[in-house]
Amino acid sequence: MHSTLIRKYKEIFSKEPQFFVSSSGRVNLIGEHVDYHDGIVLPCAISLKNNFVGGPSEDYEAIGINISNRSEFRADIKGLNIYEKGSSSSYLYGVCRSVIDAGHFIKGINFVVDGDLPIGSGLSSSASFCCGLIELLSQIYKLNLGKMEIAKIARMAENNYVGVPCGIMDQMAIAFGKEKKLVKIDCRDLSVNYCSMPNNISIVIVNTMLKRQLAKSEYENRQRECSLLLSILRRYYPYIKSLRDVNSNMLNTIKNEVDEIIFKRGKYVLDEIQRVEAVFEMMNSNNIKDIGKIFYEGHIGLRDEYEVSCDELDFIVEETYKFEGAIAARMTGAGFGGCAVTLIRNGFEENFSNYIRSRYMSAFKRDCDVYIIGQPVDGLISIRL
């Protein structure tokens, strides 16, 4: 599992690594674009991941070697340094400094990382890197960091040092990820509940191979639109803190006072939070006959009400529902590219992969990528070597 990483580490650093850490990516099954409205989400950790081996350095320099792209990146963690936003060094520096900011003492670190998480696809490759590196630092320096602290430090690293204004869903989905379990996260109080995913269902992710070029600007637009809606609602209901506090009757009260687009944004958020609760209960009771309908309603809401889908994602969802072994499909992540998540009956995964690749090529004259995930996995695993 990690012999290549160990061999590479020994070649570069001329010593044995101390720990192996596996840090998964995540996929959100339902609950898209509700985390920043204090909503509820239902992600899980997936088998696509980043794997690390590492040990301490003798000084305050952190050195990482990425086998996947044959790159080396460094950061001096002792001083207040500036690295290019979004660069590997900014992530490395941000993680180490955020651990220090949280009140823990560390020196430098040497590590080798490899993984199969596609970058920019909405499967949280950056959160996986941050959580895995924090777990590695925790093991090396005996910090004994808990799951919630790992998630919070990982978010701090992206917010404060990399310049990514992300929430905490991705980091929590990874830190709290459990084998065969979906993780229901309440984004208001950060409470976590689990439900089992039925054994006869496989998660299969379809990557449009479109980078999410509009996601950042449109994400900011949606936040502004929903803030405007919230300010109007507060004229009538001054106690509400977020759209999580709003129900459909309250929303309908101001329907004639707001632009139709603004109203649609709010309607989507309210409906999506209810969909998360419904899917959680269905999974818990192993009663999945209506999950396909709910996933589809969620995708249509993302397409027509929140308007964050694209032709490629819409095509994948529509074609999936034509496949005999399909249970459910919807876009996942920020939108405007990235991935769709599908639920496929066991035994149909390879046939579905071939089917959707062929249909996508016929429609768009280029390839999509397919990841047969199966069941959820443990999000973070560490082993002393």
Q: How many of the other CB atoms lie within 10 Å of CB of 381?
A: 17
DSSP 161: I
Q: What type of residue sits at position 210?
A: L
Same domain, 167 and 207: no
Same domain, 333 and 254: yes
Residue 259 has pLDDT above 90, yes or no: yes
pTM here is: 0.93
φ, ψ at 11 (rounded to 5°): -65, -40
Same domain, 227 and 274: yes
Same domain, 230 and 97: no
Per-residue pLDDT tens for 7-24?
A: 999 999 999 999 999 999
62: domain CATH number? 3.30.230.10
The pair of three-digit structure tokens given for residue 80, joined into one six-digit string? 């207040």
Same domain, 208 and 185: no
State the average pLDDT for the chain.
94
Q: How many domains are there within the chain? A: 2
Same domain, 242 and 359: yes
- Cα separation, 294 vs 227, in Å, equals 27
- Cα separation, 379 vs 373, in Å, equals 13
- Cα separation, 228 vs 225, in Å, equals 5
Segment holding 358, helix H or strand E = helix 349-364
Same domain, 181 and 232: no
Per-residue pLDDT tens for 94-143?
A: 999 999 999 999 999 999 999 998 877 778 889 999 999 999 999 999 99
231: domain CATH number? 3.30.70.890
- Cα separation, 158 vs 169, in Å, equals 13
Helices and strands in the chain: count of H runs, count of E runs = 11, 12
State the pLDDT at residue 85.
85
State the pLDDT at residue 96.
97
34-38, 61-65, 79-83, 359-363: which has the minimum mean pLDDT? 79-83
Same domain, 255 and 364: yes
The residues that bridge with 372 in the sheet, in sequence order, are: 204
Closest CA to 252 of 242, 237, 272: 237
DSSP string, 188-233: TT--EEEEEPPTTEEEEEEE-----TTHHHHHHHHHHHHHHHHHHH
Q: Kindly state the average pLDDT of the residues 70-99.
A: 91
Per-residue pLDDT tens for 138-180?
A: 999 999 999 999 999 999 999 999 988 788 899 999 999 999 9
96-to-131, 158, 165 alpha-carbon distances in Å: 11, 12, 18
Same domain, 217 and 362: yes
Same domain, 351 and 207: yes
State the pLDDT at residue 241.
95
Range of the domain at 241: 203-374
Position of tokens 């191979």? Answer: 209
Cβ 126 vs Cβ 371: under 8 Å: no
Residue 214 has pLDDT above 70, yes or no: no
Position of tokens 């939108």? Answer: 335
Q: Which residues are marked as active site?
A: 170
Same domain, 176 and 244: no
Residue 26 has pLDDT above 60, yes or no: yes
> What residues contact residue 151 under an 8 Å CB cut-off, 6+ apart?
131, 168, 171, 172, 174, 175, 176
Same domain, 29 and 124: yes
